[in-house]
Structure 1
Amino acid sequence: MSSLAGYALARLDFAGKGVFAFVILAVMIIPAPAMFLAQYKLLISLGLTNSPVGYVLILITSGIPMSTLITRWHDRPSIPAPGFSPVPTRPPRVVSAVLPPDRLWLPARATANLVHMSMTFSHDHVGISVTPEDLDTTLQWYASKLGFVLDQRFESHGTTFVFIVNGDVKIELLAGASNRREAPTRDILTSMDPERLHHFCLAVEDLDATVSQLRDRDVPLIGGPMDVPAIGQRIAFITDNLGNIIELAEPGTPPAMITVR
């Protein structure tokens, strides 16, 4: 496109040739930083930042005027026509393109990085705060009712920290609380308010067998057992000696996938 336009301006005579050349020259006079600022704002409004289409548009709008003028100077006749008095010409002026300051580009870069960033997690442990007076009682409850064993116990910052484990499950007890919680809930369906971390879940192989053992150990249910077809599981709920809600979930058969045609 630039080659054709430059050749036409250099070799052909047509109406508006001078005006067309003047417009191209006027565009070249605009400082490059001002051009790039306007182009950047336009790309933001069009949602084309950090995209191939936006990059091509910048190349087109910035490169066509310059390359057209360069081609025009290059294609001018070297042998003057009869009656033509050549006028010494200057070599074409090359204008360097200056990018806007980094602070204008950083927001777009940060957004692009967030879109492509991914994080992978695995579960480590659940933390429960207790009063120092309830620490040993809570340790005994989890050991006698759920079969947890002591993994670590240490002092730090004036507080006792205890880790107990059962298989892959780890619970941390932090003996830094000064007040005991309110009376524990007796019904899972009325325990949703207020908003908070509601419960943690332990997976069991046989829910009915687990519930039976818990009843023998004087651990009552506050919900279930119940079937949840949407996730293909059976679940039940209990509370520990502090009133923290614990869900027991039995793996089941996931619901069949539905294909929409």
Structure 2
Amino acid sequence: MADRRPSAPLLTTSWDDGHPLDMKLAEMLLRHGVTGTFYVPARNRPDRPVMAAADLRELAAAGFEIGSHTADHRRLPGLSREDAGRQMADGRAALEDILGMAVHGFCFPGGRAGRWGRSLARELGFSHARTTRMLCADPGPDPFAMGTSAQIYPHRPAALLRNWLRHGGGADRLAMLRALLLPGDGDRAVRLGGVLAALADRTARGGGILHVWGHSWEIEAQGLWGALDRALAAAAAAYPVESRVVNRVLATAWPAASQKSSPRGCFP
């Protein structure tokens, strides 16, 4: 799963909060041959532990990207520019001390950049900053406002609609919203696996990017490991090995890839 410069379509995954259950998640990713980026705060609230240093080094050695998620998992909206910058810089420095290598990526806690986040990410030299903007089959034109496709979570229609509205709407994002609606009755976790599997195939055939993200602690709490396993199996079948990338590669590869295969907006 070494870095490479692929052509579209592209598959990426990213995982927030650095919970110890990320190690279980990484095992599943490795079993399917899918890589990913883990966004890890230096510290989190008392009831939300963070992986040990040895685990972080193990993930990096396995080829996963480790990105910053602030020093204390502080949401940037409402912070002063100075405090926001300190959270971003100190969180990265702590990870770099553990890993002994540069940390290139950042994810906004809660997905929102606030007034300062995007400009600070540029000034601090990050390669990209990821948001929780969903329903996209491309990451968007700004690497410091990187969008995603779908969360490993059985969202109800109203939550997906709010995400669509909050992040600018758009006909193509609406098409993906409809594709992610969980049809019928029964176990929402089971149906989520099927919906994500179908989405992986459709997005790959359309020449777009599938960016799946989530939280391992939430996957555990919601009983979503089976849904994730099914989604990863489908994604691995749809996307060739050379198209499976980490977010640092996606941030630079997508502009070149999109010239070869130009999806219509966010959803092919």
Q: Which has the higher strand share?
A: 1
TM-score band (shorter)?
A: under 0.3
Q: Which has the higher helix share?
A: 2
* TM-score, structure 2 normalization: 0.23
* TM-score, structure 1 normalization: 0.24
**Rg larger in 1 or in 2?**
1
